[in-house]
Amino acid sequence: MLNSETQKDLRHNLTVNVTESAFFGLATGFASYITIIPLFVSGFTHSALLIGLIPAIPRLGWQLPQLLTAERIARLQYYKPTVMWLTIHQRFPFFGLALVALLQLQLNSQILLYLTFAILIWQGLGGGLSATAWQSMVGKIIPPGRLGIFTVLYRRRLI
């Protein structure tokens, strides 16, 4: 049975999380680690190692920080302030990638590679730093009976 506060805020929490996830899904579509970023980087280098490294960066960045932050996040009473502060480090790099793309004609290939990989690493680590707090917050604000639906929609990027 849901407590009255969780029930009262459920519609708002679902709407906010659906909207946020939709915009994040849109952004990751424009900056796909599987197709778009490797294609962009292939214009500056022919190194298969560098191009192949691109999809590994967000995976490692997502998982490694969670191992280091889980204990601290578990002690938090409120997750939202931490999520809001740390999520900036996952979202803001999209602007950095756009800026690199806009400056590609003014900068040499080496600088473009350094900037692109620095931004990808920043974004990957930012995602991992915010992941545990975000997942804990979602587990707290979305009731267990609705969590399965939320997870399915999130994975399909419908929310």
User: Tens of pLDDT along 61-102?
Assistant: 999 999 999 999 999 999 999 999 999 999 999 999 999 999
Q: Please, which pLDDT band fits residue 159 given cuts at 50, 70 and 90? A: very low
Do the domain assignments include residue 2? Answer: no
CA dist 112 and 94 (Å) reads 15
Do the domain assignments include residue 61? Answer: yes
Do the domain assignments include residue 97? Answer: yes
Burial class of residue 60 in the structure, from the number of CB atoms within 10 Å of its CB (0-12 exposed, 13-18 middle, 19+ buried)? middle
User: Of 5 and 109, which is predicted with more confidence?
Assistant: 109
- Which residue type is seen at 97? L
Do the domain assignments include residue 133? Answer: yes
User: For residue 113, is pLDDT > 70?
Assistant: yes
- Which residue type is seen at 94? F
| Number of domains the chain contains | 1
Give the domain extent around 67.
21-39+54-155
Do the domain assignments include residue 32? Answer: yes
Least confident of 104-108, 131-135, 145-149: 145-149
Do the domain assignments include residue 12? Answer: no
Angle made by CA atoms 106, 29, 86, in degrees to the nearest 5: 85
